[in-house]
Structure 1
Amino acid sequence: MNKKLLIIGFVWPEPQSSAAGSRMMQLIEIFKSKNYDITFATACAKSDNAFDLKEIGVKIENIVLNDSSFDVFVKELNPNVVLFDRFMIEEQFGWRVAANCPKALRILDTEDLHCLRRGRHQALKDNTVFDISYLYNDTAKREVASIYRCDLSIIISEVEMGILSQQFHVSDGLLCYLPFLVDSISQKSQKALPDFKKREHFITIGNFLHQPNVDGLIHLKENIWPLIRKKLPKAEIHIYGAYVTEHAKQLNNEKEGFIIKGYADNVSSLMQNYKICLIPLRYGAGLKGKILDAMLNGVPCVTTSIGAEGMYGNLEPNGFIEDAPEDFAEKAVELYNNKIFWAGKQKLGINIINIRFDKQLYTKDFLLKVENTQNALEIHRRNNFTGSMLMHHTMQSTKFMSRWIEEKNKKE
């Protein structure tokens, strides 16, 4: 009999809209490779951009927050593994899973460290340099508690693995480093990529509901693009992303070559038309799916230290890393004009994909860690006394709050 995996999603996966959506599809693929029967459940409404999970044999289920109907559902399903999509979901449903399916392995997919992103955002608002004092915020208390309550947590960035280990003293036994997982780029695929002469203009891409993307776009429009445009008066920057807001539409200015394009149906075929990808993020966390997409499609990048974090390791980047607007613009122009330079950076991107993000490098070890933890779950949890303690108190507090909300909802 096949093992069963329950994924409790924050939202329905939208791989064409966000890196988080692509990431979820990668995790589903891993478990499908081991013949898990997968059920995806969420309390979120489905959008038009949601991936059709039924098409790949994944069962879907609508669930309700603060409602005991979930207890009945999860007990009947009786999954071997439960994957929580972000710590907020574990807060809502983790105690219910623990109570009704105590033998199920509980895995948290962090996506990125929310406390790190929040701390950086606050430092930016304070107009100061981020330091570790910004890391110890209320989000960190919730997020790290969630990591302890789970049996394993998937961490997408080596930098964030280090933060959890060094700053929060989380045991390595609770953490799994699992970056973006893609197929390696073959020689044939490399040769098929359009060359320098067949490409033009700049591109940037990102979901408009994600605030770091919006901040980066405004930074690009006000502080960087005018410097590039001054040197390259015929160049344009095309901005793609799902859920374009009215504020974003107001940034559109065709005379300045700053053009909001909106949702992209096929990122790969689209990106191969462009010379350079600009990622001027000023705060954020995790890995940047837009840089991964750029490397997969042979597009050199100019980004910031925030954008580059965790992407390149010790390897030379597929472009430049600059935080000052003047330096950022200068490197963008230099890369745009120099064919030989550009081709070299394109090859570096392909090298990074094959060395750091080839799914064959990580899938087997991850599945082995899941299996080994399942097989020694009682010992694993005994060694994680902090997690057991936190789960005990969560059950005493969250459980009664949730039941109070449920009763209140019935009366209304």
Structure 2
Amino acid sequence: MYKTLKLRFRNWKLKKKLTKQNVLFFEEDLVFKPVNVLLIDEIIPEFNKDSGSRRLSEIIKLLLKNDVGVFLLADKKLYRYNSDYINFYKKLGVIVYEPKIYKGKLLTKEDFIKLISPQLNYAWLHRPKVFKRFSNFIKSSNSKTQVIYDMCDFHYVRLLREYEQNKNEETKIEAERNLISEIESCKAADIIFAITDEDKQKVLEHYDNKDKIKVISNVHQPNEKSSSFNEFSKRSNILFIGNFRHKPNIDAVIYLHEKIMPIIWKSHPEIIVDVVGSYPTDNVKTLHSDNFKIHGFVDDVSSYFNSSRIFFAPLRYGAGIKGKIGQSLEYNLPLVTTDVGAEGFDFGNYSEVLIANNAQELAEKVITLYFDQSLWNSVSDYSKTILEPFSLESIETTLLGTIN
């Protein structure tokens, strides 16, 4: 009861503020196309901070390119509804929901959905909680709207793998709870987007409807090697990148610092690790030292990719495609990772030199790749081949085969 009253009060204050500032909503600002998609995520996608957001931003660009009307909404409380990214998407041509005054009242997210629902062909709901919150409301607003459940990754699998690491019974219970919720969402959806073929196969073990499940993965375009590409001898350091709101990244960095680097430093104390990523937690920040540097969020990461000797992602649990792996390959930067990190990628004959699953073997593969120039060059040149399934053209074909 108290929380409800508190929320109403905050919304009342927001309405008063917007009225005073004359922040008004006009229906004529809604521009519809022959095909229209509403995309809802937990946040306005922060394309330069996490892999899931980057994927959504590339999908939005592909939809706009093909003359699809795109509407964007974040599942945030109205009084917290602000983002540095709203204007970015508006400049692209996306109609982004923002709290405004409409006919003397505060325009809510639900009001916005009702206004656009008669013209809405698809509702793309990203992540399980968003699907659960909005799917029924959207269907009740327009039963003809096709509701898409974008899994992002199979959360059940990620949590089950976490349980296998920490043996925490609460994690196992959470995994089982997520499985029930995710399968219920699969049944309710008109279309399901998995992010890898592996995730699709795992879903099919619990929900056997393969025709409903499509794979829309990350978009990765390899950068052509130019005169600015630093050769092997001009590079140093190990690079890790990850958003630290994502628990597998926290675990990977601690594992790297506590278990793997001591092995590497024993014979090569000069090697430095650069850890880049938004929202570093306190237990990550405390790892900072002269040879294990925690940099936090970096807007333009290209300088790190262009100067590092190798990329390293010792992920012990997770699910779906790992954007950090694709990003490293975009920059033709050789990498070492685990089976979990490599999921969704085909490393071909290089799998044996790039993948390991315990601290000793990971350390050995890092050392080999770090000092073997011939191997480094071969892996770097092969990056483009690994990324072929993730090209704009490949993802666009799948996307337009569904959104039509």
Q: TM-score range by the shorter chain?
A: 0.7 to 0.9
Tell me: CA distance 1:127–1:175, structure 2 relative to 1, closer, same or farther (3 Å).
same
Select 2:393's aligned residue among 353, 360, 377.
360
Is 1:151 the counterpart of 2:190? The answer is yes
Identify the structure with bigger relative contact order (alpha carbons < 8 Å, sequence gap 6+).
1
Deviations 1:68-91 (A, max 9, x none): 944432221121111101111010
Residue 51 of structure 1 deviates from its aligned partner by 7.1
Aligned residue in 1 for 2:257? 221
Equivalent of residue 126 in structure 2, options 64, 82, 85: 85
Structure 2: stretches of 5+ with no match in the other structure: 1-32, 101-105
User: Which amino acid in 1 is paired with 2:265?
Assistant: R
Q: Separation in 2 of the partners of 1:304 and 1:287? A: 13
Q: Is structure 2 residue 207 aligned with structure 1 residue 169?
A: yes
**3-state SS of 2:217 partner:** coil
- Structure 2 CA distance for aligned equivalents of residues 334 and 69 of structure 1: 56
Aligned residues with identical type, % of pairs: 25
Provide the rounded CA distance (Å) in 2 between the counterparts of 1:212 and 1:368.
33
Q: 1:2-401 to 2 correspondence within 5 Å?
A: 2-44=34-76, 45-48=81-84, 52-62=88-98, 69-78=108-117, 79-126=120-167, 137-165=176-204, 167-186=205-224, 189=225, 193-254=229-290, 257-312=291-346, 316-317=350-351, 320-353=354-387, 355-371=388-404
1:135/1:297 CA distance change after superposition, 3 Å = same
Structure 1 unaligned regions, length at least 5: 372-412
Q: Deviations over 1:321-341 (max 9, x none)?
A: 111101111111111111101
The structural deviation recorded for 1:364 is 2.0
Name the CA shift for 1:173/1:134 in 2 (closer, same or farther; >3 Å): farther
Q: Which digits, 9 at most, give the CA deviation of each residue in 1:232-278, with x for residues without a partner?
A: 12110000000122222111121xx1111111211233211101111
**Native 8 Å contact 1:204 1:239 kept in 2:** yes
What amino acid is aligned across from residue 109 of structure 1 in structure 2? Answer: D
What CA RMSD, in Å, does the superposition of the two structures yield over aligned residues?
A: 2.5
- TM-score (norm: length of structure 2): 0.83
CA deviations on 1:2-42 (whole Å, 9 max, x unpaired) are 32211111111111110011011122022112211211111
Which residue identity does 1:361 align to in structure 2? S
Q: Tell me, what secondary structure is at the counterpart of 1:329?
A: helix
Secondary structure of 1:341's counterpart equals helix
CA-to-partner distance for each residue in 1:96-127, whole Å, 9 max, x for gaps?
Answer: 00101111111121111111111111121129
Find the aligned partners of 1:63 and 1:175 in 2 and give their Cα distance.
34
Q: C-alpha deviations, 1:195-244, integer Å up to 9, x for none?
A: 10121111101011111100111101100011111221211000000012
Q: Which amino acid aligns with 2:148?
A: I
SS at match of 2:181: helix
Q: 1:14 aligns to what SS in structure 2?
A: coil
Q: How many residues of Structure 1 are paired with residues of Structure 2 in the alignment?
A: 360
Partner amino acid, structure 1, of 2:345: M
Q: Distance in 2 between matches of 1:274 and 1:231?
A: 19
- Structure 1 length as normaliser, TM-score? 0.81
- Whole-angstrom distance in 2 between the partners of 1:190 and 1:263: 27
> What's the offset of the Cα at 1:190?
6.0
Assess if the C-alpha contact under 8 Å between 1:300 and 1:318 holds in 2: no
